[in-house]
Amino acid sequence: MSDRQPRFRLVFTPFGGAVLAVAMAGLIRALLNRNAYEIVIASAVLFLMLILGILGFWKSKKLKSMETGWKTPSPMTAFSDEETFISGLADSIPLFFRLHFFIKGVFFPNGDKNSCRVKAETSVARGETSANIPFNFPMSGIFQGEGFCRLCDIFGFFSFSCGMMPQSKTVNVRSAPCYGKKTQINAVTGAEDQRNKPAADVERYYMREYTPGDRFRDINWKSSDKIDTLITRISTDNQEKVSRIEIYFRNFGPVCAVKTAFASMEPLWLLDRAKARLSYFLRNLMEQNSSFILDVRAARGSWEIQNMDELELFLDELAELSFLPLQNESALNSSNSGDIYIFSTACDTALPGYILACNPRPVTLFLVQPGDIKNTPEEQKANIEVLKSDDFLQRGCSVSFRRFRKGIKFLGAHANRVEMFYAEIKA
């Protein structure tokens, strides 16, 4: 719970203030002209506003002890239909009034310094003590804001502060998921983590069906021939070879040193889709073989992922990673001979040089390019992932159309295996 002092808020809405001014002006004019009809109408409007104002002020004081809370989906994912749950609402609301819950704050797309203002609102039906509010984002990043409740009349004249202090939150938003063909990896393509065991223990084992990542020398060929299925010997003390899969997420690209309202969304959208591809790849590996150890490295950070729990923690951290300036670097664990998997964007101008430095290690490259008619292959045009300015506006994010200008050029890069993906922005 925040310990800040409550902010002063006007009880009149913009519409209510306008109605009050018009009614007052109409009443004065009617009195001067001695127009009984206008006097009755203006007086009725002012009397209604007076009654609503007194009732709303009195009830809002009664609701000062109301402690509301809001809980976002966990994990929170971009472009999802999940809603934020609101609890702790009062059920005794006067006639002609409703509780409204607001969420306001700023959203940093992909952790960028240039933020967008965010506002979401929902009206709570009378007698309900909980509600759901649509609250979502079009890409990964960080949201910092607060949720608070106000008592509003159904005519839209007044909005009274109620409840305890606004509840502040910081939420990491993951990229919208992507789908595609799964990458099959064998144990021999990764770096080997060989654990020694006594010779006397070699014969102590049990057998199970072969899965990708098992050592070929552990296959029991005689048993496999009998049932026409590959069977693997597994040590009882679980001292089999473990494959370490080496992955590099290159979040190098344009960095704005000064906040500007017109920084382009294009590089951030490319980075977001690279995050989505990486997330899909990592989940695929963990589902293939739980014995894989994933060594993930990014600019100024590295992670070792051994199970699904550690993967979930990494994905939360991945959501807030932004671009960093290019820096001198060496190939990832260059002493190893296994494959290296690289995820990057067209903003990474040093990528070709890094791939060359990885030689002679096999490199698989997952590269997100800007989608355009000239460079996008015909068979890929239907798969271009598009981000529109309406995707922000429909989710309560204020963003300038000038941020949807294009300028990223197609990047040429070669590796042992290359998978291209395309992303585009539209105002």
Q: 321 and 255 in contact (C-beta within 8 Å)? A: no
All domains of the chain, ordered by start, with CATH?
A: 63-174 (2.60.40), 195-240 (no CATH), 244-426 (no CATH)
* pLDDT per position as a tens digit, 212-253: 666 677 777 777 777 777 777 765 444 444 578 899 999 998
* pLDDT per position as a tens digit, 68-121: 999 999 899 999 888 999 999 988 898 999 999 999 999 999 988 888 999 999
As a whole number, the mean pLDDT across the chain is: 84
Report CA dihedral (45, 46, 47, 51) to the nearest 10 degrees. Answer: 100
Strands (E), 110-239: 116-124, 131-134, 141-153, 159-174, 191-193, 205-209, 231-235
Pairing relation of β-strands 397-398 and 116-124? antiparallel
Q: Report the C-alpha gap between 369 and 267 in whole angstroms.
A: 10
Task: Output the tens digit of pLDDT for each of the chain's 427 residues.
Answer: 444 444 446 789 999 999 999 999 999 999 999 899 999 999 999 999 999 999 999 999 999 989 999 999 989 999 988 899 999 998 889 899 999 999 999 999 998 888 899 999 999 988 889 999 999 999 999 999 999 999 999 999 999 999 888 899 999 999 999 887 777 775 545 554 444 444 444 344 557 677 666 667 777 777 777 777 777 776 544 444 457 889 999 999 876 655 655 678 999 999 999 999 999 999 998 888 878 889 999 987 889 999 999 999 999 999 999 988 877 666 555 556 678 999 999 999 889 989 998 888 899 999 999 987 666 677 677 788 999 999 999 988 998 888 898 888 888 888 999 999 999 999 8
Q: Report the C-alpha gap between 368 and 350 in whole angstroms.
A: 15
Structure pTM? 0.79
Helix (H) or strand (E) holding 45, with range, is: helix 36-62
